[in-house]
């Protein structure tokens, strides 16, 4: 079974600085998808960024980028120019390639709580 591990329960960053959140996963599959979701105090789950495993290029979305290392099964999230609004729980999630009758549900890590200091 696939598992997702976030080894940093809590992280802190100074406003305007850069922070990297770690995520590793375990799978025997070659095709899959990886996501980072943000959960602010409102509890809403917000998609931050998505990476397809077949793509070698790392995904970027404005100040958010990932470092995807397929061989190492590592998927870290880098937040540049951190803002107070970035303070939230961040969840790494894995999704199997839904082709071939596989389930499309997300498997989540335990989360990393990010604090942003002014």
Partner 1 sequence: DSGVTQTPKHLITATGQRVTLRCSPRSGDLSVYWYQQSLDQGLQFLIQYYNGEERAKGNILERFSAQQFPDLHSELNLSSLELGDSALYFCASSKAQGLAQETQYFGPGTRLLVL
Q: Is 106 helix (H, G, I), strand (E, B) or coil?
A: strand
Pick from 117, 109, 116, 106: which is nearest to 8 by CA?
Answer: 109
Question: Measured between alpha carbons, how far is 7 from 97 in angstroms, rounded to an integer?
Answer: 25
Q: Does 70 bind partner 1 (CB under 8 A)?
A: no
Tell whether residue 57 is a contact of partner 1 (CB under 8 A): no
Interface with partner 1 (CB under 8 A), residue total 25
Work out whether 79 is an interface residue with partner 1 (CB under 8 A).
no
Cα–Cα distances in Å, from 94 out to 13, 24, 41? 26, 10, 23
SS3 86: helix
- Position among 11, 22, 24, 52 found at the interface with partner 1 (CB under 8 A): 52
State which of residues 65, 80, 108, 113 lies at the interface with partner 1 (CB under 8 A).
108
Interaction site with partner 1 (CB under 8 A)? 33, 35, 37, 42-47, 50, 52, 91, 97-99, 101, 103-111
């Amino acid at each position: 079974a696939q598992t997702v591990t976030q080894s940093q329960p809590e992280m802190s960053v100074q406003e305007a600085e850069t922070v990297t959140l770690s995520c590793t996963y375990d799978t025997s599959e070659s095709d899959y998808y990886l996501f980072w979701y943000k959960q602010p105090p409102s509890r809403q789950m917000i998609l931050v960024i998505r990476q397809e495993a077949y793509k070698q290029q790392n995904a970027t979305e404005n100040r958010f980028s990932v470092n995807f290392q397929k061989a190492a099964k590592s998927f870290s999230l880098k937040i540049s120019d951190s803002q107070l609004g970035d303070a939230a729980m961040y969840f790494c999630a894995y999704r199997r390639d839904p082709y071939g009758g596989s389930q499309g549900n997300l498997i989540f890590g335990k989360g990393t709580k990010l604090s942003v200091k002014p």
